[in-house]
Amino acid sequence: MSTLEAIVEDLRTLSSPKLEEAAALIHGLREKTRAERLAALERSAGILSDEDGAALERAIEEGCEKIDARGW
């Protein structure tokens, strides 16, 4: 049984008030994770020089924007 399946089974045994409490905790964890990702993004925003940013943009355009229809 996977972790998710075990959690769902545990949730099935909870009363409605406890299930609402668990839902609030889960939603809080999701929001905390989102806030942590945004904070990491904000810390890294603007760290590249214009030259490094342009080089990164070129590398992405040259290596990541092409789709080989035969490769799928």
Specify the residue for token string 């810390």. Answer: 43
What per-residue confidence (pLDDT) applies to 65? Answer: 63
Q: What is the DSSP letter of 11?
A: H
Task: Specify the 3-state DSSP secondary structure of 19.
Answer: helix
What per-residue confidence (pLDDT) applies to 49? Answer: 92
CA 21 centroid distance within chain: 23
What per-residue confidence (pLDDT) applies to 72? Answer: 59
- pLDDT tens string, the chain, 72 residues long: the values are 899 999 999 999 999 999 999 999 999 999 999 999 999 989 988 899 999 999 999 988 887 867 777 775
Instruction: Look at residues 68, 69, 48 and name the one whose alpha carbon lies nearest to residue 58.
Output: 48
Distance, in Å, from the CA atom of 16 to the CA atom of 29, rounded to the nearest integer, reads 20
Please report, for the chain, the start and end positions of each structural domain, with discontinuous segments joined by +. 3-67
